[in-house]
Amino acid sequence: MTAVATAKPELRHDWSREEIEALFALPFNDLLFRAHSVHRAYFDPNAVQVSTLLSIKTGACPEDCAYCPQSNRYDTGLEAEKLMEVEKVLEQARAAKASGASRFCMGAAWRSPKKRDMPYVVAMVKGVRELGLESCMTLGMLSPEQAQELAEAGLDYYNHNLDTSPEYYGEIITTRTYQDRLETLGHVREAGMKICSGGIVGMGESARDRAGLLQQLANLPEHPESVPINMLVKVEGTPLAEEADLDPFDFIRTIAVARILMPASHVRLSAGRESMNEQMHALAYFAGANSIFYGEKLLTTPNPEANRDLALFQRLGIHPEERELEQAPEMPSPQFYDATRSAAAH
């Protein structure tokens, strides 16, 4: 059955905080109807882009991000690991492709990459691209020269989240500024790469802060091609371990407003999916989420098992974007996931 064509709303970069707060305040059904209409105008409403995320260097990060178990400032029981060997990364990229992923994302717990690390990172990018996968990396802050080097290697996406609103940012991170993050996004864009940038909700921020985060993203000169919306994963030992749970409907509202503000972007369900039931996933897809991380772990915390995602896709009539799966593929071994980690990416 062919979807009914819907006129595409214009892409705007001048959203006011008041306009965004008004969207958040809409009756829930009205907000979801508007978001889904926008989503249907730009995307196949039954396709979801599937990514796999691998931690290529885990722990011992000098930053003080209050949500992150990889910070060396917090005792979370996480064992630090050195940068993985290139071939081991590519082995896992092959397994990810075999399990249905179309994008392979690599994360390193660095403030910024050192010169000695760049040749290995570049080799990983080239190897992933040769496998026919889209490539994405999150390595912390980048200089213009590092961004250019990654672009020349063929990196498709660079992830660098804004995390929260400018006003609330200092409550979560003190070791780098909001401007530092914006400058890295600028270097990435100037080098010609696509941007993956979003934030984390459920960190004790207000509804106005959630509007402020989305305002920053939507008013960038170009919208991020990928917008991950993370639900805080509370890890014992981090400052936010005892934070109150966010109302699930507030999370869905954030997805919906992100879809309205950035109609042509992929909005990704990211960290925190383990705590979401099937009904919440289905609502998120209807509200405009059309990308997920796939596999049992992201960087250091749990994520729904891949075959559970495929089973829900089948029940909802959803299929992975760009790669049709007629049946659930054979899944990688548990050892494949042991090397991966989760929580909101830096």
Say whether 111 is catalytic: no
Q: Is 210 a catalytic residue?
A: no
Alpha carbon distance 275, 221 (integer Å)? 34
Would you call 208 a catalytic residue per the annotation?
A: no
**Which alpha helices (H) appear in the chain, and where do they start and end?**
17-24, 28-42, 86-98, 118-130, 144-153, 178-190, 207-218, 248-261, 278-287, 306-316, 334-338
Catalytic residue among 61, 176, 210, 273: 61
Catalytic residue from among 103, 210, 259, 268: 268
Catalytically annotated residue among 17, 34, 40, 68: 68
136 is catalytic: yes
Rounded-to-integer distance, Cα 311 and Cα 160, Å: 31
Q: Name the nearest CA neighbour of 194 among 156, 167, 221.
A: 156
* Helix, coil or strand: residue 149: helix
Query: Which of 118, 115, 157, 122 is CA-nearest to residue 137?
Result: 157
Catalytic residue among 103, 105, 181, 341: 105
Of how many residues is the chain composed?
A: 346
Residue 159 in contact with residue 120, Cβ under 8 Å?
no
Known catalytic membership, residue 40: no
Decide if 268 is catalytic: yes
Distance CA 324, CA 317 (A): 12
Choice among 34, 103, 181, 196 that is catalytic: 196
Of the residues 34, 65, 181, 253, only one is catalytic, namely 65
Nearest Cα neighbor of 163 from 293, 73, 64 is 64
Between helix 248-261 and helix 28-42 the angle, nearest 10°, is 40
Which member of 136, 181, 273, 341 is catalytic? 136
Tell me, yes or no, if 323 is annotated catalytic.
no
The backbone torsions φ and ψ at residue 47, rounded to the nearest 5 degrees and listed phi first, read -120, 135
Show which residues are catalytic.
61, 65, 68, 105, 136, 196, 268
